[in-house]
Each structure stands twice: as structure tokens, then as C-alpha cells.
Structure 1
Amino acid sequence: MKAIATVSTLDCNIPSWLQDCLTAVSSKANEPVPEDIVLIAKAFEFAYQLHQDQYRASGEPYIAHPVAVAGLLRDLGGSSVMIAAGFLHDVVEDTEITPEEIESRFGIEVRQLVEGVTKLSKFNFSSKTERQAENFRRMFLAMAADIRVIVVKLADRLHNMRTLQHLKPEKQRRIARETREIFAPLANRLGIGRFKWELEDLSFKYLEPDFYRQVQELVAERRSDREDRLTKVVDMLRERLAAVDVHSIEINGRPKHLYGIYQKMQRQQKGFHEIYDIAAVRLIVETKEECYRALAVVHDAFRPIPGRFKDYIGLPKPNRYQSLHTGVIGLTGRPLEVQIRTMEMHRIAEFGIAAHWKYKETGVSSYTRFTAEDEKFTWLRQLLEWQNDLKDAQEYMESVKDNLFDDDVYVFTPKGDVVPLSRGATPVDFAYRIHTEVGNHCAGVRINGQWRVLDTRLENGDIVEIITSKNSHPSLDWLNFVVTPTAQSRIRQWYKRSHREENVARGRELLEKELGKNGFEALLKSEPMQTVAERCNYHNVEDLLAGLGYGEVTLNLLVNRLREAVKAQQPMVQTLNETSLETEGASLPQTPVTKVPSATSSKKNPITGVEGLLHHIAGCCNPVPGEPIIGIVTQRRGISIHRQGCPGLESIPGDRIVPVSWNRKDVESCRPQTYPVKVQIEVLDRVGVFKDILSRLSDQYINVRNARVKTNEGQPALIYLCIDISELQQLERSFTQIKNMKDVLSIRRLSTVDE
């Protein structure tokens, strides 16, 4: 490739650090150029030529984006390999370049980082949620191999957020929501505070623009008063610290970021003028011992606020953040937050995991490989474990979001080891965090030496002792109070193993009823079925059937993926022997699609026995195609079509009854394509159960006309739905899926008499 000799001819603005690299490489001096600089220059030149004819939505040359990403990684102290990956992170997706070519030019490390960051190819997933879940499953696998992957991804997302104003509003909101829910918490988990705060504020700008402008204007209005007040506090603390020989490296006051202020307003239900501690003073000292001495100085100078002191040095956050936080009453009688830390703690707070390669004792940037095996990444190991445990895309995404948000409680083992858990965790969550077998054989718990029930909510500082027994085993009732996905998945795993044969049999029955007996056994052993099992994250077909029987994977999802697998294989099969799945005996049902009737469809009738007569579907029992029906002659509305056994027909005389039946040939081609059915579902009252039910109905392509929920404290909740059904089989499938949900107690159809 022809090297770029000068930077003056480039049609993009490049930073001085990159200019220096390019100048050093193109210089005719005989001095050798360091390999790191050569790698950075080569990566830029390669990316520049590949993206030369591409432009961003803003109209600027596309190369400006990789340059900005590489700059962010350089600011974090990233190695030349990371910076090169920043330049090249889009070339595999946006150009004809292959990963193999990247490896041949830049080495295996750059290739692995670029492959890890490259956006996924477009798969034909059945829902947006599933596509997003698959995206993140793969991203976490890449992170487990090399944590630098997500750092490059975060830099990419941060620059995209900075330039989001050039996209359409719908896309702005979608990207901003994903950034707030996933990428900002990821930056927080990695401890990269400077990325986390900016990602949150930029998301806030696009998701709540009115509140963003309001908070921004209010912060700006009070800026001068706030700066004067903080200056006086800083001067006072600097003088007092010097008097007791505490060497302060830096003392400064700063406003909290806008989204943090907004969150506090929402959480405390207060207006901006009622939030006084919108600014904080940060003290950076030399040693850990000086942190606590500085704390004494602060508490001597200002009155501490009870309950507002947090020692993150003694108990670091899961992202390794360390600092002393204390709330005090400031000079004007307003609350003020003071943070005290060492310079090393400050670097970790700002750069997180990147601090390990940005700052070394030698002062030279270097890189140590961090993977999911490191203790500091237990949260990442959990995400990887859930990949196999949680098949449902919606449940997996919720678990990811819950685990990423930093809202932990800290409890102790009897030996004094600290165990971080999600807020609201119980002894059962604690037991499964210690070990799966401890959870599976948990029989009781002592908290702070006192016997307690297993659904007790743990508090900071609790000492938890789990009592185990060989004869004890998990109870499905535990699912009603555990909060960590690890505990939930382990309980379900035990249940599935202990009832495996029953679940496999139920799964076979459901699938056989859907596809038919003819050729069914051959289909189970076929290559497409094994492909479906792997795509659903199961090792084999039997595991897939068990998941279907247990309700972990929906019948509609399985059938859709089987149809895709068969369709993908059909060209090859037809070339060999002109055959297909249908010729082997089994046939796959098609996804329900609303058809537009032809000009002759109005002459067709889905019901035999009422040809040419005025008739209607009875609203009391709402019959659907496939179930026995009966006609009743009415005085004004012709013949009313009821389900056989409808409670409203008990007093109808025999001379008003007309024999009718569904005309299967014409049902699909006549309107209405769907029929309303009213159902009642009795469930355990927990957050999210209604959404889970709606998700199952959505998988069956079932529309919900209206819904009503009735709850009574301490009792199961009742959910009343009116859904659109195209045929009896679809109704039965949906009932089976909902019945298999862990929190569903019963489900039944309703008639007017029942309501």
C-alpha cells in the first residue's frame, strides 16, 4: 500500500498526536521508528484509503469517526494494538476486507479486537428483542476472551452518541435507550467513570430533551454562586489540611453531571431548587492513611450529616471504585458532598480497567490481559453462565440490565469474606452465590446469629450463615422471592433435571401435535432439527424438547426456526434427489398471516349450514374455527353461532337449534381472520408476570384487544384478556405455553355467564 507521505493533503482534520505519528513514519531520517508508532500509522493509512469514498450522516468524511475512536482509546492509555483496532473497527463490516487480511497486515491481536467489536451480521430473528439479545450474547463472549473488546466498543459508542444529532429522531431515541440501559452500565462496571457520565448525559439529552434543557439551564443559572461557595470551601480545606501536615495533591469543586441531578430529583420527588448538594468537593491526597486523616479534618470543619458517610476504601464497589464519601453542612447551611481518595484511586475511578495499562510504576504504558477468569469480573462470568441458562430473549435482556446496574448490598460470610449481592437479595441468593450445591441443599439460615426465614431481605453488613442438609432440595416457591438471575437459573436447572423425562415427553407431545405423526421421528433425527437446537443454545435435540416441555422455548419460535433451517437446506436437497421435508412425510405449519380477500371471497362462508342466511358469531362464548359449534335462531339478528356446551343455551328450545359446522376449506379465505376469545389467568403476583404472558402471546402472533388486572394483597392476581384467535389449535398452543410458565396457577376461557 502506498504510504501517505504528508498530512496536508488529507480531506479530514486529524489530531496533532496522529500527525506526529505520520510525520515520524514518513520522515527520511535514518533514525529507527518505534514499532508502536509504525503500527498506528499503518492502521490509519489503511482505514483512510478503505473509507475514502464513504461519508457519515453529517456529511463529513467517514474516516473522522475511526480517528475520533482511536483518540478516545489513546486518552484512556490504550496500547498501539487498541488504537489500531479503533482505526479499523468498521472495515470488516463496511468494506470487502476480511479478518484474515487484517491479521496478515496487523497481527492476530488487532484481528481479534476488530472481530470482537464488528457489528453482527443480520440474522432473521423472530423479534427485535431476540436480535438484541443475540447481539449481547456474542459481545459478552468476546469480552470474556479479551476485555479490551468492550473498551473499544465503548469508545465507538461514545463518539456515535456525540454525533447523534445527525440521525432521525426515532433512531436517536433507540440508540440513546440502548446506551443508557446497556453501555453506560457497562462503562460503570468497568469503572470508566469519564465514559459512563458522558454516555448518561448524552442519552438523557435525547430521551428526555425537555428535562435535559431544564436541568442544564438551572445549573447554568446558579453557576456563579456555586463557584464562589465552592472556592471558599476549597480554600478553607487546603489551609486546614496543610496545618495537620496532610499533603493534598488536588482539591477542587465540581457540579454533578446532569443525569445524576435529574435522577436525584426523580428519586426524591423534589424540584431542582430543593436539591442542594448538586456539587461536590474532591480531595486527592497521597496515601490511604491520609484519606482518613483528611476525613477527620472535614468533619472538624463542617457538621457531618448522619447516614451520609460511605467508606468505599474499606469496601470497594464491584468495579473496584474506592473513595470516602461524606455529606456535610457547608458554609451557607446547604448540604455538600466531599469525596476523598488517593491519586491511584482517582485514576481507577476515571479510567477503571484502563488504569491498569495507562499507569504503571515505570510510567510506561503496557497491557496485561484481563479475562472473565479474573476475580474482578465475576459479574462477567455470571453473564456468560446465563447464556446457556436463560433461553428466553426477554428474560436474558432483563437479567443483563439488572446485573449491570450498580446497586449492590454487601454481606459477610461467617469467616469475614465480603459478598456483594443485588439489592433485595435473600439468603437463597447468597447460598447460590457461594456455590450451586450450597443453594441446592439450603435448609435454613442464621443472619447475625439469629434464625431467619429464607425470604428475608439482606442488609449491608449482615453476617449470613447457610445451614445445609443432604435431604434438602430447591423449591419452586423460591422463584417468587430470589432476585439474582444466578439463583433463578440454578433453581430452574435443578427442577428441569429432576423432571427431565417428563419435560422431554411433554415437548415431544407439543411438537408432534403441531407437525403431525407422519415422518415425525425422522424429523427429530434430521440435520435441520439439530441446527435448530444449536441456534436455541441447546446441545442436542433432546435438550431442546425438554426446554419446549418446560416452557423455556416457545413452540412458535421452534417451528419458525425449523422452517428456516429446512428452507436453507432445500436447494441442496432438491439438487440431490428433488425432495423436501414435505415429501418425507412431515409438514410445517405456516406462520399465521392476515390475507387480503379476493373479489370472490365474499361469496365464501366459513360456516356450513347458514348459506344465504343472516348470521353472526355469539359474543357470549366466542367460538373459534376447529371447535364444535351450534346455531340458534334469534328474532332480529338471524342465526347466532355458539360453542357447543355454551352455558347460555341451557334453556333454548330444540326447535330453535340449527345444525352448523366450520367449513375448513373456506375458513382461511374469509373474514374475519381472527375471532375474539376472553380468558382468565390466575398468577402469582410478581413484577413482570403480565409482561411475560404478553410475550408468550406475541410469539404466537396473537393480538390482545384489551386487558384488565385484578389484585388483592396476599392473594393470586387475576388477569382478564380478550385476544384474537384464528383457529382452535392456535388457542390451545397459547394456553399450553402460558400454563407452563412458572408463576401461572390456572388459565381458562370465559363466557358472558362467567364474567
Structure 2
Amino acid sequence: MNTAVTTCPIQFNVDLPDWLQSCLLSERRATNEVALADNSLICRAFEFAYQLHEGQCRKSGEPYICHPIAVAGLLRDLGGSPAMIAAGFLHDVVEDTDVTPDEIEQRFGVEVRHLVEGVTKLSKFTFSSKTERQAENFRRMFLAMAKDIRVIVVKLADRLHNMRTLEHLADEKRRSIALETREIFAPLANRLGIGRFKWELEDLSFKYLEPEQYRRTQELVAEKRADRQARLNEVTEILRRRLEEVGINCSELSGRPKHLYGIYQKMQRQQKEYHQVYDVSAIRILVETKDECYRALAIVHDEFRPIPGRFKDYIGLPKPNRYQSLHTGVIGSSGHPIEVQIRTLAMHQVAEYGIAAHWKYKETGSTPTLVKPEDEKFTWLRQLLEWQNDLKDAQEYLESVKDNLFEDDVYVFTPKGDVFSLAQGATPVDFAYRIHTEVGNTCTGARVNGRMVTLDTVLKNGDIVEILTQKNGHPSLDWLNFVVCAGARNRIRQWYKRSHRDENICRGRELLEKELGKSSFDSLCKSEPMQAVAQRCNYQSVEDLLAGLGYGEVTLNLVVNRLRDGVKGKQPITTDIEVLPPSTVSQKALRESVPAFRTNKSPIIGVEGLLHHLAGCCHPIPGEPIMGIVTRSSRGISIHRQSCRNLETVDGDRLVPVSWNTATETQRPLTYPIDVQIEALDRVGVLNDILSRLKDDNINVRSAMVKTYPGFPALINLCIDVRDLNQLERTFSQIKKMSDILNIRRLNESERLN
């Protein structure tokens, strides 16, 4: 479409910030090309967004345009380019109006289009669950980040302003957004080194997720503010005088408060009271050169007694987000511990603005270059992109994203001196997979600091690790019990799946063939709709889809539903969609012979007033086609599933057509026992993870038995109580989504007895 906009000056009915008023005024009065180039794009984007959002309001009642203005202002403060600021104004127009990405490109250029598309949610697509929608939004965002890292900076500015105005939403919505912010966006800001965003996002999330603890921490900080400031002033004056004496010029020497969530985290992590946390406030010393950082450190340690174990050199060994500073803890003149941070101005700019410092601040005076996602500092982003195709389950993908976003803080070295950062608790296997997938897959041993160690040894800062490999080496399922890095876990699972690929393809084919029927199944697998289903499920080919189905990465219901959606409006595919079970009884005849629906209090229609019971051989549950058998004993009528093999040997005159009573006033039992068997990778905690999924759906577990054999998957037999077939299928679907699950099925009577 081509949205009409006016070209004459617009009268705005909202208060504009000074920077935007100045921009609009200078653009209209501009007489040279430089001024036009600097302001035209920003002004056109603002006016376009203003007209599109006119009449729209936020939950607070204020005009919606106030939000894009605030986002653009945050990006301007970070030193964003005109294209970034324009994207800040336009970031919601594709999602909330009829404007298309093509029109954005036509009006504002391809650069702005890519930034806007990267932060646009998939609101116009249909997903089977909220989790799947969330996962696909993040997949799309990370792919956009790979092309232009500025996408996430725009998204962070958007999220920060939303968090600042979160009080106008319902409580449940507030908690949901705050939780996503704390688990995803605050760690993202930390990964990118944008400290000022990270701290505020964490504090705002803390405010809505744990309001009582937030208020308590706020009160504790406020109570001690005067005493704390007096101590800091005393220490800063002493250090200022000493630094001047040795000729070190400080561009800044001041105290700064630690953010509330950081204080609360430290109190919880170290099990300390507020008065025991020594770095509630810190003194920051900004000097001119790296050499002066170490000279200033010597002055601090000479004047005040250092606390053992509290010195950290992030200049010599920067954090993964390129944060650099010297941190030391000392005992102040009043006897209280104080943290001191020493860095150069350039380091401070990176600490505050992260990647934005690369284009906001220019040390050489030349035009700043944008940070490229392929830079070494974005190893974590490349890992996330690699997992796009590895992890099909939305829940597992989100968990891996969260795991990978939290900061690595163990540094280990190769024998050649290369340094790698790993998560706390990492082992040689984690290190091997961090080097390369093949190194991990062929790992057979490790040396740490020249000594042979077991593969589950926990690595420490400064360890020199050598990985021993063999060509015929391969991963062990036992490794899943001790690796801590999501990348290592996923690579081990992927190897196992690939090594059993043919078996998984056969299993997936059998499952789908049983559901759709054998007729023309081969031609269906080669059809265009089937290929489209594979791609929508994030698989490259139908064969990959069948392997994923066999392994349990994708559920049968999801594949069948998407296939049926894909052929709507097209030529019907010739398949036996409704397959008769292995029974001599005609299902069609049975359905036709079932009595017409009538309301009564019996859970089963057709046995009113008669003695009856549910058969123990097949355990029928509501939602399944059933058939009654007149027993030769005194137990009356036995109710079986229509697919039960015991029906095959029964004389026709003993069959009683029955059906489940779906009337709302039916007083049937709440739950029915079902025996299931789960085949899973043998690792610590797999049963607990399965039970957690069952608990989420309020399913009671009557009994559980686990059988394990070295080198083979674990067999888990459960007896669970379910309400009906829908709940059982939903439960199977949720368990199949777990990456460790190979298969899940119902057990018949003979299998239960064995």
C-alpha cells in the first residue's frame, strides 16, 4: 500500500523533547546539504510515525507516539546514527499499522527497513502456543542481529521504555514482561556491554517480580545513605590528594551506588545481611592511560589495606563483553570495606555504552565504524545462530538462549596461550566443544596444567587445558550428567541423533504413515505441501523432518495439523486419513450402531442400569471409540477400546454398542489410570524433568519404575491418571518435546505384566 502523508509542516499535539524540536527547526531552516543530510531522515521518520499512530493511545492514556519518541531519544543518547533514530520512531508501524516493509524501504532506505524488520514481532502469524511464538520471535531477532548488531540496540531501547511505563498493564502481563526482561533482555544488554541499560532493566524487573524485596532493599539503601556518602567523601579526598602528589590527573574520582538488584543478588548469593555487603557503593577513578591505572592501584593499596582475594584485573583479561577495569576491595579509614574501580575514560565509555561506544566515541577523530557481528566478542551470538537449526523444540531453544546469555566467568587457556571463557562449573568436555565440535566428538581424555584428569573435572580460572582426541572416539551419554554449557549438551545430543539417524527416520515414517495411511504415502513425502511443512518446522528436508519426528524433536500432531493447513484450498492429497484399527469389527458400523445422544448421569451411554466396568487390558478413556462386551462371568459388561485386540475373538452377538457420555452433568470419575513407557537418554534428572511436565498439567503419578542399562537408553514405566484422550495427547506432546526423550507409548496388559 501507499500510505498518504502530508508534506506541509505538521502541528503536533504532544510535548516534544528539546532535541527533537531543535532537529525539526534546523531541518526546516537548513540551507546547506550537510544539515539536510543530518536531520532530514530523522524528521521524515518522526512525521511519518506521528501520522500513522495518530489516534492510537497507550494503556496509560497518553498518545502512542510518546513511546516511539522516547525510544528514539534513548538511541540518540547512545550516539545512534540517523538510521537508528529513524528506526526508533518506526519500530512499531509494521506491527501496528498497514504499512509494509517494502514501503519503509521506499521511503527511508534499506538500512532503516532492516532495522525495523529485525525488531518487529511475528504478530500476524499463527502459532500453536505462546512458547512457540516467543521462540520464533527470538529466532527472527537473532538472525537480524547477525546481519546488523544495531537491531538489538533498538530492541533494548524499546524494551527499556516499555519497562519504565509497565505500571499501566495488568499484574499478570507485568510479571510476564518483567520475567522475559530479566531472563533475556538484561543479559543481552550485559553481553553487549551496555551497562546503563542492563542496570535499569534489572532494577525495573526486580520491582515487578519481587516487589516486597525491592522495597526492603530500597529502604535499606536509603537508611544508610548519609553515613555511606560521608565515608566515600573522606576516602575520595585522601585519594585525590595522593594522586595529585604523584602527578596522576583524574578526569573523575567519585562514589557511585550499586544498583538495587545487584545488592539483593549479592545478599542472596552470599547469604549476607545488608551491612555485610562491602561494595554497596564503590569509588570510581578515571585516568588517562592504562599505565596510570596500575600506578593508581599502587596508590590505593599503599594508602588503604587491601582485602585478600578481592583484586580483579579486567584490563589484562577483559570480560567477554569487553569490559575493562581494575577492581579492588580495601578497608577504608573508618574501618568499613570499600570497592575501588580504576579505568581509563575510553574503558569507561565501553563500560557504559558497550558496543555503542564504537560509534558514539571517536578517539582518533575519524568516522566511527560499526561493530560487525562476526567480531570475536560475538562468539555467543554465533553459537545462538548455530542452534537455530539444532533445536526444534521451542522450550528447549528458549532455555538454551537463557543459559548462553548469562555471563561466562571462568577463563582457561590452551597450551598455545589462547584464552577461552566458559560458564562456572565447566569441564574439559565443555572446553573441547568450545574449541570445535569435532574436538568434542573425538575427545578421549584431558590434561589440566600438565596432569591427566577425568573428563568431569571442574575447571578453574587460569587452568591450561589440553584435549586428547582419537579418530574413532565418540561422545558418551554419560557426559550429559556433568557438562554445564548448553552448546556442549546440544552437540552431544546431536551426535547421538545423527548416529541413529536411519533408525529415527524409520520410526518417524512409521508414526506418520500410521496416522495418514499407507496409500500414496511415498508421493505425499515428495509433495510440495510436505516440503513446506518441513521448512516451517525448521527442517531442511522431509527426511530431516521424519528423523526429528522419530527422535521426538517435533510432535506428530504438529506435523499433521500443519500438513492439513498447508493443503487447504489446494487439490486434496489422496491418503487414508482415517485408518481402521487392527480389529475384525467395522468401525463405521460401530459408529452407526451407537445409540443417539441422550442426557443422563451414566459416564457411558448404552449400559444404563447394567453392571459394567472398564477393561483392564486396554484402559479406555473418554474421547476414544469404545465397545462393550457381555462377559461370561458375573461382572456384567466390559468396556474396551475399539482397537483392543480382545474384540477380535468375541462373537458378534456379545458386542454392545456404547459411547462416552459428553453431557456436562455426567458424574463420571475425574481420572482414569493409564500405563505408559518412556524411552529416554540416561542422564541425572531426566525422571524429575518428566515429572515436572506432568505436574504442570496437574497429572497424578500412581507409580514409577526406571530401568537402566550401561550404554543404552533408560526405560521409564509410569502409571498416570488422566481425564480424557485430549489430556493424554497433550501430555505426550509435551514430553516428546524434551530433547532427551526418544519415544513414549501406552502399554498393553501383557507389557505391563512383563
* TM-score, scaled relative to structure 1: 0.86
Q: Distance in 2 between matches of 1:192 and 1:664?
A: 69
Structure-2 change in CA distance of 1:123 and 1:633 (3 Å): farther
Q: In the alignment, is residue 724 of structure 1 matched against residue 722 of structure 2?
A: yes
Indicate how the Cα distance of structure 1 residues 710 and 288 shifts in structure 2: closer, same or farther if over 3 A, else same: farther
- Distance, in Å, in 2 between the alignment partners of 1:740 and 1:249 is 54
Distance of aligned partners of 1:505 and 1:601 in 2 relative to their CA distance in 1, 3 Å threshold? farther
Deviation at 1:561, TM superposition (A): 2.3
Matches within 5 A, 1:216-615: 216-363=218-365, 366-566=367-567, 570-573=568-571, 580-581=572-573, 584-587=575-578, 600-602=598-600, 606=604, 612-615=609-612
Say whether the 8 Å CA contact 1:412–1:462 is kept in structure 2: yes
1:676 aligns with 2:695: no
The separation in 2 between residues aligned to 1:36 and 1:707, in whole angstroms, is 70
The 8 Å contact of residues 678 and 722 in structure 1, kept in 2 or not, is answered as yes
Aligned twin of 2:588: none
Q: Deviations 1:52-109 (Å, cap 9, x if unpaired)?
A: 2221111111111111111100100111111111111111222222222222222111
Change (3 A) 1:681 1:667: same
Residue 180 of structure 1 contacts residue 203 of structure 1 at CA under 8 Å; is this kept in 2? yes
Picking from 659, 666, 669, the partner of 1:666 is: 659
Contact 1:204 1:212 in 2 (8 A): yes
Distance 1:233 1:680 in 2: 67
Provide the C-alpha distance between the structure 1 equivalents of 2:114 and 2:399, rounded to a whole number of angstroms. Answer: 28
The one-letter code of the counterpart of 1:196 is K
> Closer, same or farther in 2 for the Cα pair 1:268/1:529, shift >3 Å?
same
Q: Over aligned residues, Cα RMSD in angstroms?
A: 3.9
Which among 65, 73, 76 is matched to residue 74 of structure 1? 76
**Matching residue of 2:699:** 704
Task: Pick closer, same or farther for the CA change 1:463–1:88 going to 2, 3 Å.
Answer: same
Q: CA deviation at 1:505?
A: 0.8
Deviates more, 1:456-465 or 1:100-109: 100-109
Aligned to 1:648: none
Structure 2 alignment gaps of length 5 or more: 581-594, 643-649
3-state SS, counterpart of residue 33 of structure 1: helix
- In terms of mean alpha carbon deviation, does 733-742 or 253-262 score higher? 733-742
Aligned to 1:175, what secondary structure does the other structure show?
A: helix
User: Is the CA contact 2:359–2:370 (under 8 Å) kept in the aligned structure 1?
Assistant: no
Q: CA deviation at 1:628?
A: 10
- Partners of 1:165 and 1:278 lie apart in 2 by 27
Question: Greater shift after overlay, 377-386 or 399-408?
Answer: 399-408
CA, structure 1 residues 620+205, in 2 after alignment: closer, same or farther (shift >3 Å)? farther
Q: Per-residue displacement from partner, 1:521-569 (whole Å, max 9, x unpaired)?
A: 2322222211110011111101110111122222232223223223xxx
Shift of 1:584: 4.3
Secondary structure in 2 matching 1:200: helix
Change in CA separation of 1:299 and 1:43 when aligned onto 2, cut-off 3 Å? same
Identify the range of structure 1 (242-251 vs 220-229) with the bigger mean alpha-carbon deviation: 242-251
Counterpart-to-counterpart distance in 1, 2:104 and 2:569: 33
Equivalent-residue separation in structure 1 for 2:438 and 2:695 (angstroms): 36
C-alpha spacing 1:263/1:689, structure 2 compared with 1 (3 Å):
farther
Equivalent position SS for 2:328: strand
State whether residues 410 and 418 of structure 1, in contact with CA within 8 Å, keep that contact through their aligned partners in structure 2.
yes
Contact kept, 8 Å, 1:606 with 1:662, in 2: the verdict is no
How many angstroms apart in 2 are the aligned matches of 1:531 and 1:64?
41
Deviation of 1:258 (Å): 0.6
Deviations, residues 587-638 of structure 1 (Å, cap 9, x unaligned): 599xxxxxxx996154987587x55313344899955557999888999x97
Does the 8 Å contact 1:82/1:113 carry over to 2?
yes
Which segments of 5 or more consecutive residues in structure 1 lack a partner in the other structure?
Answer: 574-579, 590-596, 645-656
Q: Which amino acid in the other structure matches residue 471 of structure 1?
A: N
Offset at 1:736?
12
Q: Distance in 2 between matches of 1:459 and 1:660?
A: 76
Counterpart contact for 1:143–1:371, Cα < 8 Å: no
Identity of aligned residues (%): 64
Q: Give me the whole-angstrom Cα distance separating, in 1, the residues matched to 2:272 and 2:501.
A: 53
The aligned residue for residue 105 of structure 1 is 107
Deviates more, 1:336-345 or 1:668-677: 668-677
1:273 and 1:616 map into 2 onto residues whose CA distance is 67
Change in 2 beyond 3 A, CA 1:31/1:93? closer
Shift of 1:490: 2.2
**Is the alpha carbon distance of 1:748 and 1:44 closer, same or farther for their aligned partners in structure 2, counting shifts above 3 Å?**
closer
How far 1:462 sits from its partner (Å)? 0.8
My pick for the range that moved more, 11-20 or 663-672, is 663-672
1:702-728 CA distance string (max 9 Å, x none): 76235788999x999988662316459
Change (3 A) 1:182 1:740: closer
- Contact 1:676–1:725, Cα closer than 8 Å, also in 2: no
Q: What secondary structure is seen at the aligned counterpart in 1 of 2:286?
A: strand
Structure 1 residues 547 and 620: alpha-carbon distance in aligned structure 2, compared to 1, 3 A threshold: closer
Contact persistence 1:523–1:529 (CA under 8 A): yes
Q: Which moved more, 1:741-750 or 1:336-345?
A: 741-750
**1:263–1:342 CA distance, 2 compared to 1 (3 A):** same
Deviation at 1:345, TM superposition (A): 0.6
Q: Please list the CA deviations of residues 4-43 of structure 1 after superposition, one character each: whole Å capped at 9, or x if unmatched.
A: 648xx42111111111111112227678634011221221
Q: Which residue identity does 1:392 align to in structure 2?
A: D
Partner of 2:583: none
SS at match of 1:506: helix
The farther-off stretch of 288-297 and 135-144 is 288-297
Distance change (3 Å), C-alpha of 1:363 and 1:228: farther
Distance 1:35 1:622, change over 3 A: same
2:142 is matched with 140
Alpha carbons of structure 1 residues 399 and 215: separation in structure 2 relative to 1, 3 Å: same
- TM-superposed deviation, 1:395: 0.9
Q: CA deviation at 1:454?
A: 1.2
Moved more, 437-446 or 143-152: 437-446
**Distance in structure 1 (CA, Å) of the matches to 2:330 and 2:715:** 46
Supply the distance in 1 between the matched residues of 2:736 and 2:442 (Cα, whole angstroms).
30
* Residue of structure 1 in register with 2:684 after alignment: 686
1:108-142 deviations in Å (ceiling 9; x for gaps): 11111111122223322222111111110000000
SS of equivalent residue, structure 1 residue 248: coil
Q: How many correspondences in the alignment?
A: 718
| CA distance in 2: counterparts of 1:422 and 1:26, whole angstroms | 53
Matching residue of 1:650: none
Residues 47 and 737 of structure 1: is their aligned pair in 2 closer, same or farther, counting only changes over 3 Å? closer
> How far apart, in 2, do the equivalents of 1:152 and 1:538 lie?
30
Amino acid at match of 2:609: G
User: How far off its partner does 1:476 sit?
Assistant: 2.3
Aligned to 2:130: 128
